[in-house]
Amino acid sequence: MQSETIENYLKTIYHLSTGNSSVVSNKQLADKLNVIPATVTEAVKKLHELKLVVYEKSYGTRLTSSGSKMALSIVRRHRIWETYLAKELGFGWDEVHQIAEELEHIKNDKLIKKLSEKLGHPNFDPHGDPIPDEKGKIQKSNFIKLSEAKTKSNYKVMGVTDHSTSFLKYLEKHRLIIGAIISLKNIEEFDHSILLMCEKKEVSISPKVAESIIVETL
Amino acid sequence: MQSETIENYLKTIYHLSTGNSSVVSNKQLADKLNVIPATVTEAVKKLHELKLVVYEKSYGTRLTSSGSKMALSIVRRHRIWETYLAKELGFGWDEVHQIAEELEHIKNDKLIKKLSEKLGHPNFDPHGDPIPDEKGKIQKSNFIKLSEAKTKSNYKVMGVTDHSTSFLKYLEKHRLIIGAIISLKNIEEFDHSILLMCEKKEVSISPKVAESIIVETL
DNA sequence: TTATTATTTTTGGCAAACCAAAAAGATAAT
DNA sequence: ATTATCTTTTTGGTTTGCCAAAAATAATAA
């Protein structure tokens, strides 16, 4: 099995199994990898033989510890590159993912070490996702999208994922700028719009807007 | 045909056809690419269909203008990366080639543009090889091979044409590194070996070695 | 529970990139 | 010019990663 294929499977299994159940179905993998389920069946069998996953027929697939270790190293490479592209080369947050999808497959430990060093060993990438360290350890992030926030909690605005001028102008108007402290008052049941306090003023924002604001839990 | 395979063929044809005849044999390609000649026959037929080369049975292969354009763009990517790895990340000149072999296949014009910009649009890589510009134009140099140098003249080491790690290590040992000033003392009549002074030490090198060192006349 | 739907697996097939061995063609040596 | 040698091409075969269609299994709904 080609190393790039293995890496893409492991990475995808990793992403699908964090958050939800640690067992991933063939259908889920097929959808993410843009192949048909039959192809996945073949692949996970091979990965099982390589002891990178545990695959149980008609049940699902989960990473072994060595598969998990490998997945974390790919995620590390991906996020280090994303950070590097953004910080050192001035790429926008929306451009870095696609390029990092290719760069992540270059296996050269020294290269990643040098990149990380130059960046001052960052723990989070430009999207706020945590970067696993050399040993695969992940620093837990307290950055979330405002759309995932809970009522009666306080947050600090850390960034946006939509850089359009109109969106930034909108935020400016409501003082929802980087560093602003906000307090979440209510989430409407029927449309998930959010009512919050920002600089002693009440602001109501749509779920679409909340999706594009990154906040830190205080 | 996979784009990475195409790129490796085009690049290799390009390297083999500059300097010598512009027509490259299957054997030459097979040796460089570590495949058997039969594999090359198949590949060049396909490249011919793609109009990237002109392949004539039992004669050889040469690049078309579109194949040449593509080859130059790959060479550009390779040499930009080599320069970047050396200058920005502090890799040694003997390490950069191997890593660039992988990085060169990432096709993203903006990425190469940004790297080149950050380096101040260099015209030569750490080995002294010229970097084609965006249009494929190569800055011509008046560099010569050390094997063509004359006695009692001074030269500056500008590059090499053999990028093997063992060769670069050999040069490193004798301080025959980029920028080194050498003074040619004598050329042996019977075997054309060269005696030179480099950093106040006498060094004797074989014609084979001299063939792979590029120098500038001072 | 039985029918319907969704998922998974099996089977047979395809294209890419390679190899080994044999046949054909070109080159060089005597 | 006629071997001998080297290079090229052909032929048949492999592996990898994929797909399509059908069969088997599991999950869901009536």
Q: Which residue has the higher pLDDT, B176 or A64?
A: A64
Residues of A in contact with B82 (CB under 8 A): none
Helix and strand tally (H, E) in chain A? Answer: 8, 8
Sign of torsion, CA A97 A121 A88 B70? negative
**What is the layout of strands, in order, in the sheet containing B194-198?**
B144-145, B213-217, B154-160, B181-187, B194-198, B201-205
Residues of A in contact with B99 (CB under 8 A): 106, 108, 111
Q: Do B179 and B126 meet the contact criterion of CB atoms below 8 Å apart? A: no
Distance from CA of B164 to the nearest CA of A (A): 18
Interface probe, candidates B2, B102, B104, chain A, greatest A C-beta count within 10 A: B102
Cα A70 from Cα A13, distance rounded (Å): 11
Closest CA to A53 of A45, A62, A41: A62
Q: What is the mean pLDDT of chain A?
A: 91
Q: Do A25 and A37 meet the contact criterion of CB atoms below 8 Å apart? A: no
Option in A88, A99, A118 nearest B108 (CB): A99
Q: Do B26 and B75 meet the contact criterion of CB atoms below 8 Å apart? A: no
Which residue blocks in B34-180 are alpha helix, DSSP H?
37-49, 65-87, 96-103, 109-118, 165-173
A134-185 pLDDT per residue, tens: 999 998 878 888 888 889 989 998 888 777 788 888 888 898 887 889 999 9
Q: Is the CB of A60 under 7 A from strand C?
A: yes
Cα B99 from Cα B88, distance rounded (Å): 14
Q: Which residue has the higher pLDDT, A157 or A133?
A: A133
Q: Is the CB of B50 under 7 A from strand C?
A: no
Determine the distance between B48 (CA) and D5 (C1') in angstroms: 29
Helix, strand and coil in chain A, % to nearest 5: 45, 20, 35
Q: Do B4 and B105 meet the contact criterion of CB atoms below 8 Å apart? A: yes
Option in B88, B91, B111 nearest A99 (CB): B111
B209, pLDDT greater than 80: yes
Q: What is the mean pLDDT of chain B?
A: 92
pLDDT (0 to 100) of residue A148:
87
pLDDT (0 to 100) of residue B167:
87
B4-15 pLDDT per residue, tens: 999 999 999 999
B26, pLDDT greater than 90: yes
